[in-house]
Amino acid sequence: MIRYCSRCGVPKILTAEHRWDSSGTITLARDPSHRMVIVDNVALTNILDSLEVRAGAPIEAIVTDAKRKSGRHFMDALLSGVKGVAVRNLASASVYRRLVNQASILGLGHAEVTAYRRHRFLEGVITDAYSGPAIAGDICGAFDSVEGRAGDVHYEVDAAGCLHLAIEASGRARPAGPDGAAASAPVLQGRNIFELCPVCKAPVELGARFSFDMDHGTIHESKTGHRVVLIGVISLKGLFGELEAELGPDIPEAVMTVEKDRVREVIRGKGKDLDTGPEGWLHFIRTLRIRGMGNGTDASVSGDNVKVRVENPYFEPLVAGFLAGFFEATTGREAGVAWTRSDAGHTDVTIEPALQ
Ligand SMILES: [Zn+2]
């Protein structure tokens, strides 16, 4: 079976299961309320590493726990209803096979189930895992959901970089449900029109920008070689919400700063002279939408100040950091950054030279 589009190289199943919407969002085809985003994996790693340094203590357990909650929530929704009951009773092994297949499509790594006993334990080996603590949480959340009981999770990384994961059913009841789906902002309609691949109907830009390897479970940005992953927006927000609750209210600012520094270095590394006027900014904010980060609709430049509006931002601090990185790379000045909450569906990001 041919798994990739012969024209654009995008996995056919990825295109079948997702929609790139005109509003700057990516959603699941079967459930438009479930939003996905393409995140730079270096950004994720940088942020978690930097928050750990700030905290002065390991944060792996917080990461695993947050991902576990959202993973369970997602699987519960997937398995709800009559079909779910049948799956839980009859075919749970095949649910895990489906899940590891899904992980490789999303670029989370290549997983194999090595041992499984229903209601008792699940063991697996994961190569090219996007993040040890995060994928441990993803899989443990699925275990909690499929088995209907809480598991104890252990994992270690061997010398070759393979992650060995073991989940054992505990006597404990499943932890309380997710912390209430955060009130979600309305989705603002957009007018983006993607040129589509004539063969598979994926956005042409998707295949042009990224290369997909379902055997290794990886996706890379072709131009930079950077790894990216597709993850649920609820899952990502849940993770940062949990980190903020545990580590303090200045976490969003810290997240913004780490992302700003990363983007600045990537753009500087390209060594091109970039247009820093409104046209340059409009061009830059158009790169948000193929990743499902939101819909950059407006950019105004007045003197040293830049104001950008992004509709449907997936996470405001990361959008603000992404934009501020462009500012610093193109002006050579340190940015002072502010953003508004997107309760009404959009965020306004204001960037100006930082006060020295
Ligand atoms: Zn195609």
Q: What is the CATH number of the domain that holds 289?
A: 3.30.1380.20
User: Ligand 1 centroid to 227 CA: how many Å?
Assistant: 21
User: Ligand 1 centroid to 310 CA: how many Å?
Assistant: 28
Mean pLDDT within 272-296: 91
**59 assigned to some structural domain:** no
User: Ligand 1 centroid to 10 CA: how many Å?
Assistant: 6
Sequence-ordered list of residues with C-beta below 8 angstroms from that of 111, at least 6 positions apart, any chain: 99, 100, 103, 104, 124, 125, 126, 135, 139, 217
User: Ligand 1 centroid to 203 CA: how many Å?
Assistant: 8
Q: How many helices (H) and strands (E) does the chain have?
A: 11, 14
33-60 tens-digit pLDDT: 899 999 999 999 999 999 999 999 999 9
Question: 118-132, 163-177, 302-316 — which is least confidently predicted?
Answer: 163-177
**282 assigned to some structural domain:** yes
User: Ligand 1 centroid to 201 CA: how many Å?
Assistant: 6
**272 assigned to some structural domain:** yes
* Among the listed residues 169, 166, 171, the one whose alpha carbon sits nearest the alpha carbon of residue 115: 166
Reported pTM: 0.93
User: Ligand 1 centroid to 207 CA: how many Å?
Assistant: 7
User: Ligand 1 centroid to 202 CA: how many Å?
Assistant: 6
68-100 tens-digit pLDDT: 998 888 888 777 765 666 666 666 778 888 888
Output the pLDDT for position 179: 52
The more confidently predicted of residues 343 and 2 is: 343
Output the pLDDT for position 182: 53
User: Ligand 1 centroid to 223 CA: how many Å?
Assistant: 19
Angle (nearest 5°) at CA 76 between 70 and 78: 105
Boundaries of domain holding 342 = 249-353
User: Ligand 1 centroid to 319 CA: how many Å?
Assistant: 28
Band the pLDDT of 180: cuts 50, 70, 90: very low
* Among the listed residues 334, 140, 138, the one whose alpha carbon sits nearest the alpha carbon of residue 239: 138
Computed over every residue of the chain, the mean pLDDT equals 91
**40 assigned to some structural domain:** no
Output the pLDDT for position 183: 59
Mean pLDDT within 311-330: 97
User: Ligand 1 centroid to 107 CA: how many Å?
Assistant: 18
**307 assigned to some structural domain:** yes
**16 assigned to some structural domain:** no
**283 assigned to some structural domain:** yes
User: Ligand 1 centroid to 35 CA: how many Å?
Assistant: 22
Distances (CA, A) of 249 to 41, 44, 113, 140, 318: 24, 19, 39, 28, 16
Token pair belonging to 183:
């009130």
Gap between the Cα atoms of 330 and 353, Å rounded = 12
User: Ligand 1 centroid to 331 CA: how many Å?
Assistant: 38
**pLDDT above 70: percentage of residues in the chain:** 93
**91 assigned to some structural domain:** no
Look at the chain and report how many structural domains it folds into.
Answer: 1
Residue 154, strand partner residues:
166
User: Ligand 1 centroid to 95 CA: how many Å?
Assistant: 28
